[in-house]
Amino acid sequence: MPSIKRLAGVGVATIALLASGVVAATSASAAPTYCANYDGGTLCAAKYSNGYNVWFDNDSGWKQLDFNLGCDLPSGSWIRFKDQGSFWSAPGATNSYFFSLNSAQYPSCWPILKDVQTGISYSWGRH
């Protein structure tokens, strides 16, 4: 299981290492950001009041990728939001997509990164 990190911008107020290997950091000035290493890069998501920003830092070769966002529903099931389709990511590139939705209505969401070439999806939530 990959390690998941919760990061924040400048002004980090608290850092804690949890037994699960998750690193948590909070800041009053930045949106909570979670990152994990997948598929030769780093997948991250940041929650804002008007949606979720998802990005992938590609540390390896050319990849055809697709972003999705999974969100828990009050019923106990979940919903998948899709972006505008797959894209090519170059080595060293950072690719991102902003999922514009009311995060108060969808407070528990996670990114899903699909490697189109292999068919494998990477996420720290359900997928």
Cβ–Cβ < 8 Å for 31, 49: no
44 domain residue, yes or no: yes
Greater confidence, 38 or 31? 38
Range of the domain at 38: 4-121
Q: What is the total count of domains within the chain?
A: 1
| CATH value at residue 97 | 2.60.40
14: closest CA among 3, 22, 4, 24? 24
85 domain residue, yes or no: yes
The pairing of strands 4-7 and 14-17 is unpaired
pTM of the model: 0.75
127 domain residue, yes or no: no
Q: Indicate the residue type of 62.
A: W
For the chain, give the mean pLDDT.
Answer: 80
Cβ–Cβ < 8 Å for 86, 116: yes
What digits encode the pLDDT tens for the residues 32-91?
Answer: 899 999 989 999 999 999 999 999 999 999 999 999 999 999 999 999 999 999 999 999
